[in-house]
Amino acid sequence: MRTKVLLICCMLAAFALGISTAAQEEPNPKREKFGALAFLPSGAGPAMVGAGARVNVDLFVHSYTTDAEAKSMASVLVEAGPDALLKVLEKTKSKGKITLTGRVGFYDLKLIRSHKTQEGRRIYAVGDRPVGFLEMYVSNRSLDYPFGILQLDLKTNEKGKEEGEGALIYSAKIKLLDGRSIDVESYGIAPIRLMGVRKL
């Protein structure tokens, strides 16, 4: 099943081309932590449950990707393709992670950016998704979907706190179609919806 997320595709298109608008770029903040309620589709990763299940997740941002780092990764994607980008991400130090609340580990994020929007800001992140032993052993087709893509849209409420919603594509394939446009394909499941996102 193919799932296209318009906003994420637009984000990746900008990322692939190395586009950075200084007026919209958010200054790199200090470490941040967000909490959210994730609505899980069927098959969303190991040990997950049926569609509609809910679980609390925490998002940790240790640091944000610099313009230079983002442009370097963009050049790799445009000039050498998604496989080369994956190798770069695998070697890149984690800049953040998503965890199931109260548990250790889940998903490391290697590229994290923050941009101002008319209503607040948007955070997006890309990582090389974790591959379990069983998945690797059986050479599942899911191995062709090695990326994870996260997006959060945040607003500031009347109390001055950031809140919003977002989505996580757990298993994604990135295709560079014509050197300028990006196609994102999800492996058989809809994106994980992140509701009630709040800065902690």
pLDDT digits (tens, 9 = 90+) for 117-175: 888 999 989 998 875 544 444 456 566 788 888 999 999 988 889 999 999 888 888 87
Residue 24 in this model has a pLDDT that exceeds 80: no
Place of tokens 């983002």: 70
Q: How far apart are CA 126 and CA 87, in angstroms?
A: 13
Q: Which pTM does this prediction carry?
A: 0.79
Q: Which residue blocks in 6-158 are alpha helix, DSSP H?
A: 6-17, 67-80, 82-91, 133-137
Structure tokens at 1: 């099943």
Residue 180 has a pLDDT of 60
